[in-house]
Amino acid sequence: MRDQWVLDRKTAFLNHGSFGATPRRVLDRQSALRQQLETEPVRFFLREGPALWRAALDRVADFLGAPTDELAFVRNASEGANAVLRSLPLEAGDEILVSDHGYPAVTRAAEYVADRAGASVRTVTLPFPPEAPEAVTASFLAAVTPRTRLVIVDHVTSPTGMVLPVASLVATLRERGVDTLVDGAHAPGMLDLDLGAVGAAYYVGNFHKWVCAPKGAGFLHVRADRQDGIAPPVVSHGWRRDLSPGERFRAAFDWTGTADPTAALCVPTALDTVAELGGGWTAIRERNRELTLEGRRLIAEALGVEPRIPESMIGTLASLPLPPGSGPGPAHGLDLDPLQARLQDVHDVVVPVFPWPRWPERRIRTSAHLHTERRDFERLAAALRAELA
C-alpha cells in the first residue's frame, strides 16, 4: 500500500493530519491536467476548465451531502474561514466564540476581523477530557450571550484529535438564534460527513487531508439562507450586482483570478483512487480508526499514560500528553518542537508535537491512513522510549 504513495520509504509517517499525502495515481492525474491546461491555456480556462470544475463540484456535493449551489472550492479551510469571517457585518461590542481546542490560524482570522470592528473573540474552555460529547455542547451554550454573533467550532480538533458533536451543537445554537462556522478541516474522508444533517450556516473543510487530493483543495459550504454578502477573500469577475445572492455566491467563488485549478479538479480522482485502494470509504474509515486506536494504545504504553479521551470521540487522529518541554518553547504556530525535530532527524519518525493548552505542556498527535501500518507506531513507541528515557 505504501508504494501507492510517493512518501519517503525510510520514514514512519504518522502525520497524515497536518498536510495529508497524495497517492501517485492522483498526482499523475494532476500532471495530465496541467499538461492539458498548458497545451492551450485559453481554451482550458474559458471552455474546458469550467465544465471540469462544475463536474468536480457536483461530485463533492454528492460526497458531502449538500446541494452544489451551497458549495464552493477554496484553496484550503483557512481561505474558507476567512471568506466567512471577513464578510460578516460585525459591530462594536459583538463577540465571536471559539474554543481552547480551536485551530490557532482560524482563531487569528477571527481576532483580525474582531479587532477591525471593535468586537471581541472569547475562548470557551471545553471540559477535557470530556466524559461525553454532550458536555462540549453545554460549555458553548453556557458561554453564549446576547452579543454572540458566531460560534466557531472544530468538527475534529487539531491539537487534541477529538470528534466534536457538531450537529447537536449547531441545532442547539440555532434555537438560540446563533450561527455556527464549523471548521471541518479534517472531516471529509475521516468522518461520514453529511453537511445537510450538520445544518451549519457555514462549514469549511479540506480535501487535501483525508481525501488525499493534491494540496490546495478545500471547500466552503454556505447554507442557502446565509449566502447573501459572503464574498471570497479575492473579489473578481463573478461579484456581479445584477445576480441574485445565490448566483453571485456561485459566480464569485468560481473565479477568483488566474490560478492553478488542478488540485480541486483532482478531487473526483482522489475520491475514486482512495476508495479503490481501501475497498470503499466506509471500510477505509473503519480500518483507519481501528489502527488509530491500536496505535494510541501502543504509544500510551510507551509514554506511561492513560488515553483518556473516550474512544467514541476518536476518528483517525489521536493525541496524548507528553512530559513538559523546557526552554522558551515554539514562538509561532508553524515552529517545530525540539522533540518533533529529533524524532524526525534521529529516528525518521514524522509526527507532530504541539504546545497545548500552553507551553510547556505538550501533546503528541498520531494519525492513520491507508499507507500507515502498525509497525510505524512501533517505531514511534521505540523512539519515544529512547528520547524520554
In the complex, the residues that contact ligand PLP under the rule CB under 6 A are 18, 76-78, 103, 105-106, 154, 158, 183, 185-186, 206, 218
Please state the closest distance from residue 217 (CB atom) to ligand PLP, in A: 9
Q: Please state, in angstroms and rounded to a whole number, the distance separating the CA atoms of residues 158 and 185.
A: 9
Closer residue to ligand PLP (CB): 50 or 233:
233
The set of cell numbers assigned to 285 is 474509515
Strands (E), the chain: 12-13, 71-74, 95-99, 120-124, 148-154, 179-184, 202-206, 218-222, 317-322, 349-350, 353-355, 362-367
Phi-psi region of 191 (alpha: psi -120 to 50; beta: other; left: phi over 0): beta
Closer residue to ligand PLP (CB): 191 or 302:
191
Burial of 358 (0-12, 13-18, 19+ CB in 10 A): exposed
Q: How far apart are the first and last CA of the chain?
A: 33
Please state the closest distance from residue 262 (CB atom) to ligand PLP, in A: 17
Report the SS3 class of residue 364: strand
Report the SS3 class of residue 120: strand
Closer residue to ligand PLP (CB): 14 or 77:
77
Please state the closest distance from residue 105 (CB atom) to ligand PLP, in A: 6
Helical segments of 155-257, H only: 166-175, 195-198, 245-254
Pairing between strand 202-206 and 179-184? Answer: parallel
Closer residue to ligand PLP (CB): 18 or 123:
18
Q: Please state, in angstroms and rounded to a whole number, the distance separating the CA atoms of residues 303 and 321.
A: 8
The set of cell numbers assigned to 178 is 446563533
Closer residue to ligand PLP (CB): 154 or 379:
154
Closer residue to ligand PLP (CB): 210 or 255:
210
Please state the closest distance from residue 81 (CB atom) to ligand PLP, in A: 7
Q: Please state, in angstroms and rounded to a whole number, the distance separating the CA atoms of residues 274 and 269.
A: 8
The set of cell numbers assigned to 53 is 470544475
Please state the closest distance from residue 75 (CB atom) to ligand PLP, in A: 8
Closer residue to ligand PLP (CB): 213 or 381:
213
Please state the closest distance from residue 218 (CB atom) to ligand PLP, in A: 6
Closer residue to ligand PLP (CB): 103 or 202:
103
